Amino acid sequence: MRVVALVPGSIGDQILLFPTLDNLKRYYPNAQIDVVVEPQAKAAYQVSKSVHEVMAFDFKDRNSLADWGNLVGTIRDREYDVAIAVRQSWSVGLLLWLTGIPIRIGYQGKGSVFLTQAVLFNPSQYGAAAYHELLQPLGINAPVPELAVNVPKPDIEWAQKEQKRLGVHETGYILIDGRSEQLSQDKEQDKTYPVESWRQIIQDFQYKQPDLPVVVIKGADDDQFVRSLLESSPDIKVTAPGDIGKLTAMIAGANLMLSTDSAALQLSVAVQTYTIALLGPTDPAKLLPKNDKFLAIKSPTGKTADISPNAVLEKIWDG
């Protein structure tokens, strides 16, 4: 059986789909599973256990008829037996109808007239569980499995060397995934957390647990963010994993992860690292499974920046 899943969204959205793809592969071990994702989300599948091929298509772009036509042609050429659409969309529904794929599964709503099987979408449900219900038309009604990833061996070895370089290999460490201040001007501004608030959390932690290092993840645009933290807390460690495999391996080695709503948050859940999530507009029940390892602090205003450092510290010390 050949299956294609159309998955608009971020890296975090892709990781939430992993349990669905893994269970599909478990029930149909000979299935070939491909995905069509936005270019910036392709990296997620470096740590996927079940996907054969990843194709890029910018669902958010103002695509011409030629762009959509090329995608239809690409999908038709592969002669898929099953298509799964994880977003309600007239354009995606029509695209799948044009491909001629015999089994087309998606959610009830926009574009479902073009599907052969439509599943009711529960907007308040944990994201991974909502995706998993798309397997019902294929006769898979088992509970949703836990998030899981497959970290390549070279990335595990890189993380071990990186931990030794940072001097945290034996002691363990607290890992922080902060957001670049540059993001405060874009549509993700409600998910960012101020440098000053991170600074207060780090300083309190270093005072109470001086022997447990704090490691900050540095992304491509985080120079100013990291520089600002180092000015007040020169003892913090900084790591800059070059890809998602290395990032996952570093998260797996941490004693505790502090994160905003990001891909790193879902990776932390997947590797079962104790996690405290700082969330703004998103309902924690949609992002995190029910598990004592994963705690959420929801902003009272819907903006992550309005979570007080004291609220985070209380969760660290009492949670």
Q: Single out the residue of 12, 24, 9 nearest to residue 134, CA to CA.
A: 24
Q: Do residues 134 and 23 both lie within one domain?
A: yes
* 232 token code pair: 């007040």
Which residue, 109, 138, 167, sits at the end of a domain? Answer: 138
Domain membership flag for residue 145 = no
- Residue 180: is its pLDDT beyond 60? no
**What's the total number of domains in the chain?**
2
- Residue 181: is its pLDDT beyond 50? no
Predicted pLDDT at 148: 95
- The average pLDDT across 41-61 equals 93
Q: Give the pLDDT band (50/70/90) at residue 188.
A: low
Share of the chain above pLDDT 90, in %: 84
**Alpha-carbon distance 270 to 11, whole Å?**
13
Cα 71 to the center of its chain, rounded Å: 25
Share of the chain above pLDDT 70, in %: 96
Q: Do residues 236 and 273 both lie within one domain?
A: yes
Q: Do residues 310 and 166 both lie within one domain?
A: yes
Predicted pLDDT at 65: 85
- 253 or 110, greater pLDDT: 253
Predicted pLDDT at 184: 38
- 319 or 168, greater pLDDT: 168
Q: Do residues 130 and 161 both lie within one domain?
A: no
- pTM across the whole model: 0.91
CATH number of domain containing 252? 3.40.50.2000
Predicted pLDDT at 319: 58
Predicted pLDDT at 274: 97
Q: Give the pLDDT band (50/70/90) at residue 110.
A: confident
Crossing angle (nearest 10°) for helices 309-318 and 195-208: 30
Q: Do residues 117 and 174 both lie within one domain?
A: no
Q: Do residues 177 and 261 both lie within one domain?
A: yes
Q: Give the pLDDT band (50/70/90) at residue 169.
A: confident
Q: Single out the residue of 184, 254, 245 nearest to residue 212, CA to CA.
A: 254
Cα dihedral sign, 256-259-261-262 = negative
Residue 211 contacts residue 244 (beta carbons within 8 Å): no
**Alpha-carbon distance 243 to 258, whole Å?**
19
- The average pLDDT across 207-224 equals 92
- Residue 166: is its pLDDT beyond 70? yes
Q: Do residues 119 and 258 both lie within one domain?
A: no
Predicted pLDDT at 178: 82
Q: Do residues 233 and 103 both lie within one domain?
A: no
Q: Do residues 204 and 94 both lie within one domain?
A: no
Domain membership flag for residue 263 = yes
DSSP annotation string for the chain: -EEEEEE-S-HHHHHHHHHHHHHHHHHSTT-EEEEEE-GGGGGGGGG-SS-SEEEE--TTS---HHHHHHHHHHHHHTT-SEEEE-S--HHHHHHHHHHT-SEEEEESSTTGGG-SEEE---TTS-HHHHHHGGGGGGT--SPPPPP-----HHHHHHHHHHHHHHT-TTT--EEEE---GGGGGSTTGGG---HHHHHHHHHHHHHH-TTS-EEEE--TT-HHHHHHHHHH-TT-EEE--SSHHHHHHHHHT-SEEEEESSHHHHHHHHTT--EEEEESSS-HHHHS-S-TTEEEEE-SSS-GGGS-HHHHHHHHHH-
Instruction: Output the furthest CA–CA distance in the chain (Å, rounded).
Output: 63
Which residue, 93, 114, 138, sits at the end of a domain? Answer: 138
Predicted pLDDT at 183: 41
Look up tokens 């101020």; give the residue: 194
Residue 12 contacts residue 261 (beta carbons within 8 Å): yes
Q: Do residues 199 and 235 both lie within one domain?
A: yes
The mean of the pLDDT values for the chain is 92
Task: Look up the domain containing 51 and give its range.
Answer: 2-138
Q: Do residues 248 and 293 both lie within one domain?
A: yes
Q: Give the pLDDT band (50/70/90) at residue 191.
A: confident
- The average pLDDT across 62-69 equals 85
pLDDT digits (tens, 9 = 90+) for 256-266: 999 999 999 99
Domain membership flag for residue 146 = no
Q: Do residues 200 and 131 both lie within one domain?
A: no
In this structure, how many other beta carbons lie within 10 angstroms of the beta carbon of residue 79? 10
